[in-house]
């Protein structure tokens, strides 16, 4: 792992937003990523106003499978009229990471910054319970405390070995940082299109965030798992 990425990970797990550019050969997008263990209303506001894309929560497939939540395309495939939609792929070719969309039961409307901060922080608690071995408690909490459909999409990372999207890249930062793989992220958009990389770098510099290339995360993760 390079020294520079060590610093990225150290700041990321303490709550500093990290801007990840996946690849010019994939989506060619930059996402603002925040460790979900440090999420709050202010960070949601920052992500929403500086990003503009879809605000998501992500954890690993291990967590979603443990609480009994399938991928969204698996659910849609059970409905005859929706099944053909699940057989299509966008330009980068991956299966989507989406599972279900939820609100925490104590949210007001679900979409407000404080509501999404609440929902994401509680989803982080569910993930934490799974990784601490409390599968029964995690599933019970998910069933009792969440409502669907809601305003926070729950994504499940398939692992960098299988998929190299922002879901997997951001979760890899958490894993290498020794914390629960649990993140919130949002795409950075410009007028009509994704925000160009140079503009994303400017946003990072002006706001004290960190910009990192997805390829650097992939290379560091390869070294980390082989160490």
From the list 92, 134, 216, 219, the catalytic residue is 92
Catalytic option among 62, 151, 213, 216? 151
Alpha carbons 143 and 185: distance in angstroms, whole number:
24
> Distance between CA atoms of 163 and 44, rounded to whole angstroms?
26
Tell me whether residue 87 is one of the annotated catalytic residues: no
- Tell me the C-alpha distance between 224 and 202, whole Å: 30
Contact 67, 59 (CB under 8 A): no
C-alpha distance across the termini of the chain, in Å: 10
Catalytic residue among 27, 31, 73, 115: 31
151 is catalytic: yes
Q: Is 57 a catalytic residue?
A: no
* Known active-site residue 56: yes
Whether the CB-CB separation of 59 and 171 falls below 8 Å is answered with yes
Three-class SS of 160-211: CCCCCCHHHHHHHHHHHCCCCCEEEEEEEECCCCECCHHHHHHHHHHHCCEE
Q: Which one of the listed residues 29, 73, 113, 187 is annotated catalytic? A: 187
Instruction: Quote the tokens at residue 5.
Output: 């990425």
Active site residues: 31, 56, 92, 103, 151, 187
């Amino acid at each position: 792992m390079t020294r520079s990425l060590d610093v990225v990970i150290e700041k990321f797990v303490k709550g500093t937003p990290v801007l990840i550019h996946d690849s010019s050969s994939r989506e060619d997008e930059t996402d603002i990523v925040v460790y979900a263990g440090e999420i709050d209303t202010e960070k949601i506001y920052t992500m929403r106003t500086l990003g503009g894309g879809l605000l998501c929560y992500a954890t690993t497939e291990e967590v979603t499978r443990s609480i009994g939540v399938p991928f969204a395309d698996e659910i849609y495939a059970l409905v005859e009229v929706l099944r053909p939609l699940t057989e299509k792929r966008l330009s980068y070719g991956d299966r989507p990471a989406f599972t279900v969309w939820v609100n925490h039961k104590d949210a007001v409307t679900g979409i407000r910054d404080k509501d999404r901060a609440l929902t994401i922080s509680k989803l982080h608690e569910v993930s934490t319970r799974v990784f601490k071995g409390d599968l029964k408690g995690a599933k019970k909490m998910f069933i009792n405390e969440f409502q669907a459909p809601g305003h926070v999409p729950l994504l499940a990372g398939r692992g960098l070995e299988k998929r190299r999207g922002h879901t997997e890249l951001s979760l890899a930062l958490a894993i290498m940082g020794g914390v629960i793989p649990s993140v919130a992220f949002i795409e950075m958009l410009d007028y009509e299109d994704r925000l160009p990389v140079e503009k994303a770098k400017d946003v990072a510099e002006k706001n004290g965030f960190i910009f990192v290339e997805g390829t650097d995360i992939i290379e560091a993760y390869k070294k980390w798992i082989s160490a």
